[in-house]
Amino acid sequence: MNDLVRQHTALSESDLEWLHLLVSEWQLLSDLSFADLVLWVPTLDGTRYVSVAQMRPNTGPTSYQDDMVGHLVPRGRRPLLDAALDEGRIVREGDPEWREEVPVRVESIPVRREGRVLGVIARNTNLLTVRTPSRLELTYLQSASDLAQMIAAGSFPFPGQQVDMDASPRAGDGLLRLDADGIVQYASPNALSAYHRLGLASDLVGQHLGQLTSDLAPARGPVDEAIVKLASGYAPREAEVEGNGGVIQLRAIPLKPKGTRIGSLVLLRDVTELRRRERELITKDATIREIHHRVKNNLQTVAALLRLQARRMDSDQGREALNEAVRRVGSIAIVHETLSQNLDERVEFDEIADRVLAMVAEISPGKVNCRRTGRFGILDAEVATPLAMVLTEVLQNALEHAFAPGEQGSVEVSALRGGTREESRLLITVRDDGRGLPDGFDAQRTGNLGLQIVRTLVEGELGGSFDMVPAPDRGTKVVLDIPVGPEK
């Protein structure tokens, strides 16, 4: 809509914002009217109309099988549009039109803002299934007529009341029609069922909705005046009320077709099961985070015990083996600590990589500078945990064997994420400028326990590849190629 309005019309940005506000609301008008809506706006030169938005009803058959957005129509071809635009009134004159052997009643509703008519809504009703209307349908049509008059007068939609069409109740979810005093004049079957969920044992018609809602869903402490006012329909508001184990979402729409409030519409939806599932998910997420937190604490306890044991070791080789185990446990603990702070089982691995670098750098025998380039991105927990251990082993191996005590050098970890969305891959390179590999070294056959762990995790658990080769200039280069899922 933005492109069409800016390309073909002279409307300002504030006018465009008003049209967006209207379009966010007009699913309600379409459903109450049982009709298709098409928004036509005059072009810059005034000789044509351009259709910038379209809405089909959820409550009846459509009148348009094709998409009308973007169509241009010369002025004069549709007299009802001309009359509504020029005279600023709702136009209903004329016989039904026939479209593909379907009779269609066409009406035009001017869209007014601050005294100016910005465009015209063409309301098209498929008459093929017309029958004697029920009380529900009559209430829908009367409410649609009131809203149409408010649009023509510029009092609907309500400024500052942006509506989320997916989250707000719709006419089919439940509808109440109130008079000016807040007394229920009509209640749809779904609306009555929703109030029965709150504990209502009688009918809704004839009752003051605000007071009744406050009685069924009392607030903790003083009476919640906001609920009374909302359910009485005095102002355009949304809220949820809870009582008797049920949760109802309410939306009040004051009706002022001639400038004076004659009553209101209250749309409502029973969201009891939805809120129950949301609470279950919140509880589940909290439980998962608590598990990760406890695992992290347990791993840190294990690491502390291993440190104590290492201090009591007389053998330097045994002490170093325990210290390596401490770092392996620590790398896993870092992942679980990060997971304990997230709402899902995905982590930003760059933070983990930096913490692993800092942890492993503490064992450096010389003055070695460790740094990271590139970005790992967001990884699933089942990838992040083994990858953290692999990175720990590779870095630990580089710092222990590449440099002599007191020797200066550098270790760089670079990450490159690429491939298609379906087959995304992560290429990790760990490069040092140390003494290099010994003659005859084969990373796939020889190596210490750390390299055996790396091969097992990379090739077996992560399904990737691992190689360790001499760097082009000096030192050693470790290349890890790992398949990872797409970043969401």
Peptide bond into 110 cis (omega under 30): no
* Separation between Cα atoms, residue 192 and residue 186, nearest integer Å: 10
- Looking at residue 265, its pLDDT comes to 94
Give CA 263 to chain center in angstroms: 35
Q: Which of 193, 209, 194 is nearest to 265 (CA)?
A: 209
- Looking at residue 223, its pLDDT comes to 46
CB atoms within 10 A of CB 74: 10
Q: Three-class SS of residue 108?
A: strand
Q: What CA dihedral angle connects 62, 67, 70 and 73, to 10 degrees? A: -60
DSSP letters of 19-46?
A: HHHHHHHHHHHHHHHTSEEEEEEE-TTS
In the chain the first and final C-alpha atoms are separated, in Å, by 28
- Looking at residue 120, its pLDDT comes to 96
Q: Which residues of 242-255 are buried (b: 16+ CB within 10 A; e: fewer)?
A: bbeebbbbbbbbbb
State phi, psi for 435 to the nearest 5 degrees: -75, -15
* Separation between Cα atoms, residue 132 and residue 226, nearest integer Å: 39
Q: Which of 119, 30, 26, 15 is nearest to 75 (CA)?
A: 119
DSSP label at 125? E
Q: Which residues neighbour 461 within 8 Å (Cβ) at sequence distance 6 or greater? A: 386
DSSP letters of 453-467?
A: HHHIIIIIIS--EEE
Task: Per-residue pLDDT tens, the chain, 488 aa: give them.
Answer: 999 999 999 999 999 999 999 999 999 999 999 999 999 999 999 999 999 999 999 998 888 888 999 999 999 999 999 999 999 999 987 778 887 778 889 999 999 999 999 999 999 999 887 677 899 999 999 999 999 999 999 999 988 766 676 778 999 999 999 999 999 999 999 999 999 999 999 999 999 998 898 888 766 544 456 667 777 777 888 888 888 888 999 999 999 998 899 999 999 999 989 888 888 877 777 777 788 788 888 888 888 888 888 888 888 888 888 887 888 888 888 888 877 777 677 888 898 889 888 887 776 666 788 889 999 988 888 888 888 888 888 888 888 777 877 788 888 999 998 876 667 889 999 999 888 888 777 777 766 777 888 888 888 888 999 888 888 888 899 999 998 877 65
Q: Three-class SS of residue 372?
A: strand
- Could you list the beta-strand ranges (E) of 162-311: 175-179, 184-187, 237-243, 246-255, 263-270
Order of strands across the sheet with 424-432? 367-374, 408-419, 424-432, 476-483, 465-470
Q: Which residues neighbour 59 within 8 Å (Cβ) at sequence distance 6 or greater? A: 31, 32, 34, 140, 171, 172
Residue 76 tokens read as: 């004069």
CB atoms within 10 A of CB 39: 27
- Could you list the beta-strand ranges (E) of 377-464: 378-380, 408-419, 424-432
* Separation between Cα atoms, residue 274 and residue 296, nearest integer Å: 33
- Looking at residue 448, its pLDDT comes to 72
| Cβ atoms 324, 389 nearer than 8 A | no
